[in-house]
Amino acid sequence: MSSYTAPLRDMQFVLRELADLDAVAALPGCEEATPDLVDAVLEEANKFASGVLAPLNWTGDQEGATWNDGEVRTAPGWKEAYKQFCEAGWTALAADPEFGGQGLPKTLSTAVVEMWQAANMAFSLCPMLTNGAIEAIKLCGTPEQKAAYLEKMISGQWTGTMNLTEPQAGSDLAAVRTRAVPQEDGSYQIFGQKIFITYGEHDMTDNIVHLVLARLPDAPEGVKGISLFVVPKFILNADGSPGARNDVHCVSIEHKLGIHASPTAVLAFGDKGGATGYLVGELNRGLEYMFIMMNEARFAVGLEGLALSDRAYQQALAYAKDRIQGTEAGVRGGPKVSILHHADVRRMLMSMKSQIEAQRALTYVVAAATDFAHHSPDEAVRASSQAFVDLMIPIIKGWLTEASIEITSTGVQVHGGMGFIEETGAAQHFRDARITAIYEGTTAIQANDLIGRKTARDGGATAKLVIAEMRKVEAQLAEAAGEEFAAIRKSLSAGVTALEEAVEYIAATFGKDIKAASVGSVPYLKLFGIVAGGWQMARAALISARRLAEGSGDAAFYQAKITTSRFYADHVLSQAPGLAYSVVNGAAGALALSEAQF
């Protein structure tokens, strides 16, 4: 079983060369992200991830969280690690300084969060959900709610959850039945049950702040009648300290395929008379507010896919270097060699490596755009950056998580039979990755968002602007010398053309035949992700060539980046035309059978 070490060199390359962290640091409110500070934060985060969190990953998976009579105990070492995590200030890294945060840009915090997730995904889920709750309260809560909750949540003293799903509703939030009954003092009594609540109960903090979707008795039907409420585990005293136990209780935790150390709770509200809740924002706008949390979470879950893929790659690479088996092909009578010398093992490792690097590049670039959307003094830049982020969120969530299932499975394959044995640890990454394409909206939900709100609604205008940027890089490749760049350009050109065809089809078809467009929605999402990743890999190759020509930096790193970009073009980006064909032509076969014919 391998340890984890953050890929700092690649992170620094992407942050500086592709995400342009210097430009981010020039934005109002981001000035503290100096090169020295960034390097120090990354170094310290790597130490914490590799030294504290990673050693708990395997033991947490084996021990799991446990439930007893409504109380949940986290795995051994969890409480102590969480205390260290808070004391080191990691919970406050990107939070608002007004409430005790450090206010560092999302571009930097994204790299740090990748480390937490790769080192110990189950642990990282707790601060991830808390950050989403912080954003919802900060943007939609009353001044009193902000004063009561934000500082303690940002410090990590309290954690937060999001409560959407109910047994009968699943992803259909229009079917939410949890009730909110108004009280004379302005509070509400909450009655109902929520399932799949990550860290809905645990022993790491003395309060948990639940954000809960519920419906007033006279609310409109469907999603228009949903409101959002703060329901703390302990009702606050006048001085802000936790007081009486609220009527929200954990009736069980789920037994899951993976993320065993993350308690996934079933919460009952109001079984003993009513849980006290407080309205966030305006009545019947709860789903709108909850989407603040969900968009934060969707980006973070996409990042989980990348992180798990990298953890699996590191373990597979270490195993391939150590495992001696067979002789090298074409070397008759040669000595036994490590499996890294075998062609198909190299292909598998390069497939993992190239996709991870493409995904990291795209994710950090989207994080930088988020910083521009929030901090740029130019209104036009804010608007265009936000449009790009909105388009990319379902792609980050859907593509990276679906790919993580494939990549972590490849990690098992590299290990051969030993990968199927739990003691090696390779299987854990595969099991943990499987949930990422399901929670915070399945891949189909992301894809439906992408074809509808993000493509058809504006006639593909935002997508076409991104495609125009891709064409600029294609033109730059035409001016670069060398076989590698000719190959990269060929695949990128074909990929962008395929994406253009798919965008046109979705924009033209969605309004006329939504079923036909929906059949192609997931292939469209994968197509967009693969081509966007190829765009970033092409940029990385061009920059690496310039650095080599200048004679600056680590020549081996830059040459490897060019070679990895070439592999991505040949083996991953080359899939784009086939995906576009499925988008445009795939509806007939998918929709033809009657129910009885299945």
Residues with catalytic function: 440
Residues 6+ apart with CB under 8 A from 380: none
Residue found by looking up tokens 């990298």 in the block: 310
Q: 248 with 231: CB under 8 angstroms?
A: yes
Q: 250 with 201: CB under 8 angstroms?
A: yes
Residues 6+ apart with CB under 8 A from 69: none
Tokens representing residue 218 in the block: 């006279």
What whole-number distance in Å separates Cα of residue 305 and Cα of residue 433? 6
DSSP state, 14? Answer: I
Give how far Cα 95 sits from Cα of 84, 98, 152, 265, Å. Answer: 18, 9, 12, 26
Which helix H or strand E contains 213, and what residues bound it?
A: strand 208-214
How would you write 228-246 as a 3-class SS string? EEEEECEEECCCCCEEEEC
Q: Which amino acid would we find at residue 165? A: T
What whole-number distance in Å separates Cα of residue 331 and Cα of residue 384? 56
Residue 68 in 3-state DSSP? strand
| CA 558 to chain CA mean position, Å | 27
Tokens representing residue 81 in the block: 């690690």
Q: Which amino acid would we find at residue 344? A: D
Residues 6+ apart with CB under 8 A from 501: 580, 583, 584
Backbone angles phi, psi at 263, to 5 degrees: -70, 120
Q: 53 with 120: CB under 8 angstroms?
A: yes
Largest CA distance in the chain: 88
Residue 141 in 3-state DSSP? coil
Tokens representing residue 2 in the block: 């391998």
Tokens representing residue 247 in the block: 């009527």
